Amino acid sequence: MLCYCDSNKKFSNCCEMFLKGALKPFAPEELMRSRYSAYVLGNGSYIVGTTVKQNRFEDDITLIQEYAKSVIWLGLEIVKSKKNIVEFRAYYKDNDGIKVQHERSNFVFENGRWLYKDGKLFSSKIEPNRLCPCKSGKKYKKCCG
């Protein structure tokens, strides 16, 4: 099975080893990809555990699990990855249709591991002539748009 993070690698050779705690992500982009996979799987503990301490709240685990399971995750697109910043678009479907979360995330290296610090959200929409995030192979405007 291919990884949820759209790396084109097998899940067992990609995010699974991070989610199981066998390895720590070596770079912010790996952490970003593994956090996306955690959302797909509803793994709120991983999301909270890979966040900087000052932004880490155990009560968020249940909220994250509920949110993650309330949508259908469609894919992850890495827009740009530089040093400690990863810009991405995560596509998902909810009761109102297909949406995109476009964020520029900041990561820090603390105590020998990368952690999510914070991010800036952008107001984005899916361009009509792009391939549809549902992976039908059709353009968005002729598919889910």
In a domain, 130, yes or no: yes
What's the longest Cα–Cα distance across the chain?
49
Number of domains in the chain: 1
- Cα dihedral 93, 59, 21, 90, rounded to 10, equals 20
pLDDT of 16 reads 98
Residues 6+ apart with CB under 8 A from 25: 18, 31, 34, 113, 114
In a domain, 6, yes or no: no
Lowest mean pLDDT among 50-59, 102-111, 135-144: 135-144
- DSSP element (H, E) containing 80: strand 72-82
Residue with tokens 């107001």: 123
Contact predicate 107/117, CB 8 Å: yes
pLDDT of 129 reads 87
In a domain, 33, yes or no: yes
pLDDT of 134 reads 86
pLDDT at residue 128 tops 90: no
pLDDT of 145 reads 78
Range of the domain at 40: 11-142
pLDDT of 80 reads 97
pTM: 0.93
Specify the higher pLDDT residue, 68 or 27: 27
